[in-house]
Structures are given as C-alpha cells and as structure tokens.
Structure 1
Amino acid sequence: MTSLVTTAHERGITTLTLDSPASRNALSARLVGELAQALESCGKDPAVRAVVLTHTGPTFCAGADLKAPPSPYTFVALLRALVELPKPVVARVAGHVRAGGLGILGACDVVAAGTDVDFALTEVRIGVAPSVISLSLLPRLDPRAASRYYLTGERFDAAEAARIGLVTVVGDDVDEALAPVLDGLRRASPQGLAEAKRLVTARVLETFERDAEDLVQRSASLFASAEAREGMTAFLERRDPAWVV
C-alpha cells in the first residue's frame, strides 16, 4: 500500500509530505495516523533538527475526509503532537487550505505560504463549526478576523492570512521565502530550539488542557446532527444545502 505521508531528510531538516493529491490531502483516518507516526519518529531522531510539513498537488489540505474521517480524539492527538514535538515544525504551503487544514497550520510553529494560496474555514457551510481546530487556531488568530472567517466561511488570501496571524511569511517563491527560516533553524542548538518552542507554545497547550474534551464533544454532536447530514450530503452532491437563501 502506497504511503500517504512520505519522508525525506537533508542537513538536519526532515520533510514530511502529504501525498494524497487525489483526495486533495484530506484528513482521513489513515493520513492522520501516518502523519502522527512520522512525527513520533522525528521526535525520537537526534539527527532531526526541525520538520517541514508540505504537500503534493494544488491543495495543501482540504480538511476532514468526509468519507473516512479520523475520530475527533485522534485528530486532537495529532494537533497536540505537532505543538508538543520538541523540534520546530514548519509548514510549507504552496496550495489551497480548507477547514481542518487550517488547524494543522495553527499547530505548526512557522508557516510559509505562496502568494497565490487561499484559505477558508468552510465548516459553517456544511452545518458544523471549527470546533476541534479552535484548539490551535484561536490562540494564534486576531480575534476580530477569527469572528469574520469562522462565521462566513469566506476565502482569504495569503497576505490576509499573514495579517491575522495564521501565516508567518509570504512570497512569490515559497521556497525562497522559507530559506532564511531553515537557515536559522540549522544554526540553532537542539536544546535551544526545544526550550524556545516550549515558551512560544505554552498558551496553545493551555487551551488543549482546558478545552479539548468540551470541543471534541461539541464536534461529535454537530457532525451527528440532521443539519450536518444535509450539509455533507449537499457538499458531496455539489449542490447548495437546503438552508441557503
């Protein structure tokens, strides 16, 4: 069986590539499991100074795979693994990002995006809400921007993503924009990186400790609702759900 997450290593940087372009790198139970396993291996490997998370295809991540989703607890564990990994995790985004994919970005330490990338929190359009991904997103995002994009599901571009705190650096050439970040990580000591990351992720981890169980239960309740069933069916059938006016 072909892996959905591939691994490469160069000069202290391990690159994990989401490699399921046919599904737009949607967060299936299998993809989430493979990514979690790869992160665990990176955490234990002293040769890994930092992790770059990237993708194949024109979409970084389309959000949850509605046909084969992970359990909310499994997804929370993945987000927490990204935040707690004692090595920096850098997202390299050269494709569109939707819904749960934004939660992945929120859990990363640095996010580099191309200028032509766009983002959207589309959960409200299928009858649910960005519940679980709030654990990694709300501590990062400008509150007023979070209100707008949580409520409307609008698309926004990379410049806006940087303005509101989702993206760190934007460039026409994402690899060129990322180069000084990776150079800095290669020059940093492993101990220094681990301790610095503990400082900058402390507030995010407080959110996990306080809110994870409540948000998992909210998410499960929403996905089991009749309104969500209509929304997901409409999405899969490529039509407007019944509530659109």
Structure 2
Amino acid sequence: MTDELVHLDVAAGVATITLDSPANRNALSAQLRGELLGHLTAAIEDDGVRVIVLSHTGRVFCSGMDLKESRGAGAQDQGVGEFPAILEKIWASPTPVIARVAGPARAGGVGLVAACDIAVAAETATFAFSEVRIGVVPAVISVTVLPRLLPRAAHELFLTGETFDAIRAERIGLVNSAVPGFDLDTEVHRYTEALRMGAPGALAATKAMLRSERPAAISEQFAEMQELSARHFAGKEGQEGMQAFAEKRAPSWAQ
C-alpha cells in the first residue's frame, strides 16, 4: 500500500492539511496532487471546519511540479490536470485558507501560497518563479499570483526567475507576514483565532465579494453592495451578532 503524501487533521474547527513528501521536496507529483485536492474538498465540505491551514513537513514547503513525472509529457497530457483545480479550490473556498510556509516555495508552490487568503512565512523561507530557467512559462500560477503582486515586481521576478526572501515577499504582497521561524506557529495561530471570530456565512460572502468583478458604474457597485449588506444585516448571523453585542457576550460561532 502506498503511503499517504498529504494528511488531513481536524481539531477545534481548524483543518490542517500537511504536505508530507519531504524526500522530493514536497513536489507536486500526481499522487500528492490527487490527495491534496481530495483533502481540500473534504475540509471545505465539513461544516465543522472554520479555518483551513496548508502546512508541510521537511525543509521545503513545495518545490513545484514533479519534473521527473513531467519529462516527456505532451502538451495535452492530463498529468497536471488537477493543479488548476487545486488552485481554484483554494481561491474559491468559502472557508478561509492560511498558508504556513516554513521553507522554500518554487513555481507551483508559490502558486499555492498565492491562492491562500492569508500567507505566513518564516523569514528564512525563499521564493522563486523558476519556470523560465527551465524553458517553461509560469502560466497557471499567474492566475493566483498576479492579483497579489505589485506589477513591477511581477515583471522582474517572473522574467528573471531570481530567488527572493520572505521579507521581500511581504513587501510585494505575496505573503501577509514574515516572522522569525520560532514565531511562525504563533503567528499562524493568531490569524486562525482571528478568523474563527468571524461568522462562517459572513466570511464566505466576504470572500465572494473580494473575488467578484466590480460593475463599471459606481452607482451599480453601490446598489449591489447595499443589497449584499442588507441581506446579511437581516440574516440569522447578523441578528445573532448584534444581539450578542447588545448582551456583551460572544456570538454563537465564536463560543
């Protein structure tokens, strides 16, 4: 029986999905991709899960696609078919997703980081869009990466393939927080607890709002956002939240 390369653990409303293929630097092999997609789906569909944390074992977060499997693959090869689905699953997840990055991320690994709502990295972690240096294009990951990066930085780093550190990753928008390694789990926990204070439905709707394209006319934007606001003010979560505030207690979802 083949050992599992991705693990899912759920405790206290937090689903931790751990890449556990350190022998090949957590490369996105077919097995790892399949298991990652399956665990993401399970975590998102679990009503008891309030936050998802994407983590890893070993020194490397994720080195990108498994090049041993990719050699000789044709343009229509289905071997990487799950990867866009994985990025979309994270990006569109109604449950907030946090990336916990304790080591290097390359190529597709950076795409995973960018797809998450919040990314926390150890200061010693490094990043690179290494695709051009092996003759390929960082096309799929651009869908999640480009909305995060400053345009000048995107042009420089996509075209040169140069390695950059977590401090710069924070400065250009790839990660939210770069901290000393010994503070990594504390910082992840801080974000986890902050997200758990939000109402699940409100968080899901806010994520959808952040992803949506804005109408061209500002009057249309205001009308759309007013409708969204009114719906949630009158909804079950909104009423519970206001009642809890008046009674000076924690709302039901934060207890």
TM-score range (shorter-chain normalised) is 0.7 to 0.9
Indicate if the aligned counterparts of 2:120 and 2:176 stay in contact, CA closer than 8 A: yes
Rounded to whole Å, the distance in 1 between the matches of 2:136 and 2:150 is 22
Match of 1:13 in 2: 14
Match of 1:42 in 2: 43
Larger radius of gyration: 2
Match of 1:201 in 2: 211
* TM-score scaled by length of structure 1: 0.80
Rounded to whole Å, the distance in 2 between the matches of 1:13 and 1:200 is 22
Match of 2:110 in 1: 102
For structure 1, the residue ranges without an aligned partner over 5 or more in a row are 204-245
For structure 2, the residue ranges without an aligned partner over 5 or more in a row are 71-77, 214-255
CA deviations over 1:19-40 (Å, ceiling 9, x no partner): 0000100011111110100011
Provide the aligned C-alpha RMSD in A. Answer: 1.2
1:182 pairs with 2:188: no
1:44 Cα deviation after fit: 1.1
Indicate if the aligned counterparts of 1:83 and 1:108 stay in contact, CA closer than 8 A: yes
CA deviations over 1:182-235 (Å, ceiling 9, x no partner): 1111111111111111122335xxxxxxxxxxxxxxxxxxxxxxxxxxxxxxxx
Identity of aligned residues (%): 47
Aligned with residue 152 of structure 1, among 160, 164, 181: 160
Rounded to whole Å, the distance in 1 between the matches of 2:79 and 2:92 is 20
Rounded to whole Å, the distance in 2 between the matches of 1:52 and 1:74 is 20
CA deviations over 1:102-146 (Å, ceiling 9, x no partner): 111111100000111111111111011111111111111111000
Rounded to whole Å, the distance in 2 between the matches of 1:56 and 1:186 is 25
Q: Secondary structure at the match of 1:86?
A: coil
Rounded to whole Å, the distance in 2 between the matches of 1:194 and 1:182 is 15
Match of 1:121 in 2: 129
Alignment map for 1:1-245 (pairs within 5 Å): 1-69=2-70, 71-172=79-180, 173-202=183-212
1:73 Cα deviation after fit: 3.2
1:71 Cα deviation after fit: 3.1
Rounded to whole Å, the distance in 2 between the matches of 1:78 and 1:71 is 13
Indicate if the aligned counterparts of 1:72 and 1:132 stay in contact, CA closer than 8 A: no
Rounded to whole Å, the distance in 2 between the matches of 1:6 and 1:72 is 20
Rounded to whole Å, the distance in 1 between the matches of 2:88 and 2:80 is 12
Matched residues, number: 203
Rounded to whole Å, the distance in 2 between the matches of 1:175 and 1:192 is 26
Paired residue type of 2:154: A
1:7 Cα deviation after fit: 1.3
CA deviations over 1:163-193 (Å, ceiling 9, x no partner): 1110011111211222221111111111111
Runs of 4+ residues deviating >4 angstroms: none
Rounded to whole Å, the distance in 1 between the matches of 2:118 and 2:49 is 16
Indicate if the aligned counterparts of 1:169 and 1:178 stay in contact, CA closer than 8 A: no
Rounded to whole Å, the distance in 2 between the matches of 1:195 and 1:58 is 36
Indicate if the aligned counterparts of 1:94 and 1:117 stay in contact, CA closer than 8 A: yes
Q: Secondary structure at the match of 2:210?
A: helix
